[in-house]
Amino acid sequence: GHAESGDDVHLLKPGQKRKLRSQLWFDNPANPGMTALYLERYLNFGLTREELQSGKPIIGIAQTGSDLSPCNRHHIELAKRTREGINAAGGVAFEFPVHPIQETGKRPTAALDRNLAYLGLVETLYGYFLDGVVLTTGCDKTTPACIMAAATVNIPAIVLSGGPMLNGWFNGERTGSGTIVWHARQLMAEGKLDYDGFIELVASSAPSVGHCNTMGTASTMNALAESLGMTLPGCAAIPAPYRERGQIAYETGKRIVDMVWEDLKPSDILTREAFENTIVVNSAIGGSTNAPIHVNAIARHIGVELDVQDWETYGHKVPLLVNCQPAGKYLGEEFHRAGGVPAVVAALMEKGLIHENAITVNGRSIGDNCRGKLTLDADVIMPFDAPLKAEAGFLVLRGNLFDNAIMKTSVISEEFRLRYLSDPKNPNAFEGRAIVFEGPEDYHHRIEDPSLGIDENCMLFIRGTGPIGYPGGAEVVNMQPPAELIKRGVHALPCIGDGRQSGTSGSPSILNASPEAAAGGGLSILQTGDRVRIDLGKGEANILLPVEELNRRRAELAAKGGFPIPQHQTPWQEIQRSMVDQFDNGMVLKPAVKYQRVAQS
Ligand code: FES
Ligand code: MG
């Protein structure tokens, strides 16, 4: 720490403002040498000593947008309004880059970079003279990476979402990000689209700046940042190009300055109550299956107990209110016009499902922010008692295949339900023959192989796709059946794996299996041809083999040196693999969790 700075706090007269963290760098008469060194280089682009030495809050703008990160690129514009807000409230703005995380551009997977961006941002927030920070969020992992870092450092922090793109349209139909890709793939498999037509259809879903306009992982995580209390009310849903987006960027800049004076920190906001609220909101919006990974990671870094079972306990019975793709019909523009997150929270509050006293960044409770803000469009945010789907949260499954995995039951299609979940004697269970793929490349090579004999009585498994195996975890569990089956009208087989799936996918896969095969989970000893039974009623998923046979296979695998892990391609892959936790524990870097509230130390 900077104990040498002296303890001016006790010398303050009433009404006088306290000395801020930044002044340990910029105004420390006890150490003129260091102060001058800290100061001089920040004067070289035109800042004045008055700005840096008069005790104004120094506010970081953590910039996640760049040409490499088109989902967040609009933040380059928005930061100008944020900066004006910071200045208007008497602060000084310092914009700086965050390691890019572009979901659609990064190989092997953007999820690998969440913890890297986290580490970089922790170091920046800790090591520089920032009194508070505006976290610019958008694309999937940018939101958790930023909030995780703010949780670890625990200086005042506020989230500014970039907002979703405008709605996509094609031939008079809404085309939603990501979701249209699954649809286009089916059309191509059915021979109804060629290469150019495929690209044209998919590109129609991205008509403006902003992040995915579906309720995929990006819109989910921004909505959850709001339900956690980390944004100003209504921030998450405003489409990126709307004027309100620039306006809330300005208000966010103003507000962070006051948060610094109030010393309102992430640890005041990210409480157990806020996390329970967030699980409930996630069900009501039809949130992504990536949410438990990222929200559990935030909880671990702020030091709140939260586990995967909490998602079923608090979330499973909550109905799906938001009629947005992939589960429903609409996109980001309608969700915003219908009232966005405050309207969802207001509806849940009426049923007593929200801890209303949880404090948010504006200094008021979520209850006071949202009470009575009910939707004016009940086709977009549907009534609690007449929802789009009942029981929209996740089920947690357990058994000899994994300690836990989750399933988003709200996206089970009628076709799927009729085929697998309508046995009158056992409506919640089904059995099938396992077809096992070793990662996405193997799946693509072999899915059309007729010798596998894949039919509607098969279950598709994919392994080697978890935090260690892939690495970072691949969004690959929602596997399309062979073209022959699709032509016969079988659009989805049960899919199970130790990877993730895109939040824009409408597939009821069983995913995020923990531990993954590469960490010794039961999937590592599964073989093609095994019978597997899934019982959604009992929450079980098991290979139907005697324990002796499972043990024999385990011993055999151990003798071969364990489940194979591919070669590291980059230094970070090796570093992350050596210390990453499993999906159920947030895929955090295990050694990082013990560092909490480091700005105070
Ligand atoms: Fe960036 Fe969806 S790909 S938000
Ligand atoms: Mg994704």
H/E element holding 233? Answer: none
**Close Cβ partners of 356 (under 8 Å, ≥ 6 residues apart):** 349, 365, 366, 367, 368, 371
Structure tokens at 304: 């709140």
Is the peptide bond preceding residue 566 cis, with omega within 30 degrees of 0? no
Q: Which residue has the higher pLDDT, 2 or 75?
A: 75
Q: What is the model's pLDDT at position 600?
A: 72
**Close Cβ partners of 531 (under 8 Å, ≥ 6 residues apart):** 431, 432, 433, 434, 543, 544, 545
For residue 161, the CA-to-ligand 1 centroid distance in Å is 13
d(CA 155, CA 133): 8
- Which atom of ligand 1 is the closest one to the Cα of 103? 3
**Mutation test residue for ligand 1: of 177, 180, 209, 324, the one with most atoms within 8 Å of CB:** 177
- Which atom of ligand 1 is the closest one to the Cα of 102? 1
Q: Whose CA is nearest to atom 3 of ligand 1?
A: 103
Structure tokens at 180: 């249209």
Q: Whose CA is nearest to atom 2 of ligand 1?
A: 212
Q: What is the model's pLDDT at position 7?
A: 42
Q: What is the model's pLDDT at position 182?
A: 84
- Which atom of ligand 1 is the closest one to the Cα of 216? 2
For 503-526, how does the pLDDT look when each residue is reduced to its tens digit (9 = 90+)? Answer: 766 677 999 999 999 999 999 999
Q: What is the model's pLDDT at position 174?
A: 97
Longest dimension (CA), the chain: 83
Q: What is the model's pLDDT at position 502?
A: 78
d(CA 261, CA 17): 8
- Asked if the model's pLDDT at residue 157 lies above 70, the reply is yes
For residue 103, the CA-to-ligand 2 centroid distance in Å is 6
For residue 380, the CA-to-ligand 1 centroid distance in Å is 22
Q: Which residues pair with 322 in a beta bridge?
A: 381
For residue 168, the CA-to-ligand 1 centroid distance in Å is 14
Q: Which ligand is nearest the CA of 214, by number?
A: 1
Residue 111: DSSP 8-state: G
Q: What is the model's pLDDT at position 13?
A: 57
Mean of the per-residue pLDDT values of the chain: 94
Single-letter amino acid code for the residue at 274: A
d(CA 278, CA 412): 23
For 26-43, how does the pLDDT look when each residue is reduced to its tens digit (9 = 90+)? Answer: 999 999 999 999 999 999
Answer whether 394's CB lies under 8 Å from 407's CB: yes
d(CA 378, CA 67): 38
For residue 61, the CA-to-ligand 1 centroid distance in Å is 21
Which ipTM was obtained for this model?
0.92
**Mutation test residue for ligand 1: of 68, 166, 211, the one with most atoms within 8 Å of CB:** 211
What lines the ligand 1 site, CB under 6 Å? 71, 103-104, 139-140, 177, 211-212, 216, 218
Q: What is the model's pLDDT at position 16?
A: 63
Q: Residues 43-50: contacts with CB within 8 Å, 24+ apart?
A: 47/92
- Asked if the model's pLDDT at residue 8 lies above 70, the reply is no
d(CA 381, CA 320): 9
Percent of the chain whose predicted confidence (pLDDT) is above 70: 97
For residue 582, the CA-to-ligand 1 centroid distance in Å is 23
Mean pLDDT of 240-257: 98
- Which atom of ligand 1 is the closest one to the Cα of 140? 4
For 134-151, how does the pLDDT look when each residue is reduced to its tens digit (9 = 90+)? Answer: 999 999 999 999 999 999
Structure tokens at 576: 């992350």
Q: Roughly what angle, to the nearest 10 degrees, separates helices 142-153 and 114-127? A: 40
**Close Cβ partners of 46 (under 8 Å, ≥ 6 residues apart):** none
- Pairing of the two strands 168-170 and 173-175: antiparallel
- Asked if the model's pLDDT at residue 9 lies above 70, the reply is no
- Asked if the model's pLDDT at residue 128 lies above 70, the reply is yes
- Which atom of ligand 1 is the closest one to the Cα of 138? 4
For 533-569, how does the pLDDT look when each residue is reduced to its tens digit (9 = 90+)? Answer: 999 999 999 999 999 999 999 999 999 999 999 999 9
Nearby residues for ligand 2 (ion, Cβ within 5 Å) = 103, 475, 502
Closest CA to 463 of 443, 501, 437: 437
**Can you give 480-528 as a three-state secondary structure string?**
CCCHHHHHCCCCCCCEEECCECCCCCCCCCEEEEECCHHHCCHHHHCCC
Closest CA to 231 of 355, 138, 326: 138
Q: What is the model's pLDDT at position 190?
A: 85
Percent of the chain whose predicted confidence (pLDDT) is above 90: 90
Q: What is the model's pLDDT at position 14?
A: 59
Mean pLDDT of 300-313: 98
Q: Which residue has the higher pLDDT, 187 or 265?
A: 265
For 94-108, how does the pLDDT look when each residue is reduced to its tens digit (9 = 90+)? Answer: 999 999 999 999 999
Answer whether 5's CB lies under 8 Å from 30's CB: yes
- Which atom of ligand 1 is the closest one to the Cα of 177? 2
- Asked if the model's pLDDT at residue 5 lies above 70, the reply is no
- Which atom of ligand 1 is the closest one to the Cα of 504? 2
Residue whose pair of structure tokens reads 């800049």 in the numeric block: 253
Q: What is the model's pLDDT at position 543?
A: 98
For residue 53, the CA-to-ligand 2 centroid distance in Å is 44
- Split at pLDDT 50, 70, 90, the class of 528 is very high
Q: What is the model's pLDDT at position 410?
A: 75
- Asked if the model's pLDDT at residue 495 lies above 50, the reply is yes
Of 5-9, 262-266, 280-284, least confident by mean pLDDT is 5-9
- Split at pLDDT 50, 70, 90, the class of 11 is very low
- Asked if the model's pLDDT at residue 186 lies above 90, the reply is no
d(CA 311, CA 141): 20
Of 12-21, 204-213, 436-445, least confident by mean pLDDT is 12-21
Q: Which ligand is nearest the CA of 215, by number?
A: 1
- Asked if the model's pLDDT at residue 243 lies above 70, the reply is yes
Backbone dihedral region for residue 191 (phi beyond 0: left; psi -120 to 50: alpha; all else: beta) = left
For residue 111, the CA-to-ligand 2 centroid distance in Å is 8
Q: What is the model's pLDDT at position 250?
A: 99
- Pairing of the two strands 429-437 and 531-535: antiparallel
- Asked if the model's pLDDT at residue 3 lies above 50, the reply is no
For residue 503, the CA-to-ligand 2 centroid distance in Å is 6
What do you get for the CA distance between the two ends of the chain, in Å? 6
